[in-house]
Amino acid sequence: MQKNPLKIAEAARSAGVSPSTLRLWEQQGLVEPIRTPSGQRLYDPELVERLQTIAWMRSEKGLNPAAIKEGLKDEQESRPAVQGHVAGDDMPIGMKVRSLRRQARQTLETVARATGTSLSQLSTFERTSQGISITALHDVAKHLGTTVADLSGQQGQEESASLVRSGEWATWPTTSSGVTIHALVPGRRQMECHRFDLAPGASSEGSYRHEGEEFIFVLAGKLQVVLDGDQFFELRTGDSFYFESNRPHSWRNLSDSQTTLIWINTPATF
């Protein structure tokens, strides 16, 4: 089955129906396509399979929308759960989360409740890959048995040594306003080495924790790091900071301009 998501016309051809039929099924609650920030409908392989099943139930069994919805529910519940697989790097990060959630047979409500993320925020993120903080994304990734780095496509081939030229870093998908993260080392390593570019006012929007150790070096600007909710550290240009990752930590840019950091996590648990 195809790896890349299909547009509505392509998905309709795959299911043997018209694009207007797919829009009708969406209105009837039979299928929920992924939406890009511009509103374009996309259908990943699992959604295309669902469309084909709906078409078969309608044409071969003559079922109405309510009966089709029940049949789809029974089929989903009978499938075995699959944990830990992250879809291809070319898939938007929100679609990856959606795919993992479905593989784990968890509803949006279940994941939102377990991670403290609002239902509307999580639903929007799955459709658009936007509007979720680093903290919330970390919690969702951890709940689904993966990491933010893996969701961001950092599982590439590892070599004993790698050279990345200035400005040629891979960039993580931007999910929250003002936070840009560049991967300084390709692939999955024992150390996650990143460059953070933080716009004025950008923050983690809450605290998070995970296993490992962290090191921050401030290249430019001013950063506040809060540990355990009550220990405040102000880092300026040239300052470095080390802490254990299992301590709840949050951060925000205190500067009126961009703050740029080198941020290293080890082992790769972020």
pLDDT tens digits along 11-57 = 998 888 899 999 999 999 899 898 887 888 998 888 888 898 898 88
- Which residue, 220, 202, 217, 216, is CA-closest to 260? 220
Listed in order, the ranges of the chain carrying CATH 1.10.1660.10 are 6-78
Q: Where in the chain is the domain with CATH 2.60.120.10?
A: 170-266
CA-based nearest residue to 134, from 200, 190, 208: 208
3-state secondary structure of 216: strand
Looking at the DSSP assignment, which residues form a beta bridge with residue 263?
Answer: 194, 216
Q: Which CATH class is domain 6-78?
A: mainly alpha
- Per-residue pLDDT of 195-235, as tens digits, reads 999 999 999 999 999 999 999 999 999 999 999 999 999 99
* CA dist 116 → 99, 100, 111, 143, 202 (Å): 20, 18, 8, 11, 20
The three-state secondary structure class of 27 is: helix
pTM: 0.60
Q: State mean pLDDT over 228-254.
A: 96
Tell which wins on pLDDT, 245 or 119: 245
Q: What is the CATH number of domain 93-151?
A: 1.10.260.40
Region 170-266: CATH code: 2.60.120.10
Scored b (16 or more CB within 10 A) or e, 67-77 reads ebbeebeeeee
Q: Where, residue-wise, is CATH 1.10.260.40 in the chain?
A: 93-151
Residue 265 has pLDDT above 90, yes or no: yes
In percent, the amount of the chain with pLDDT more than 70 equals 89
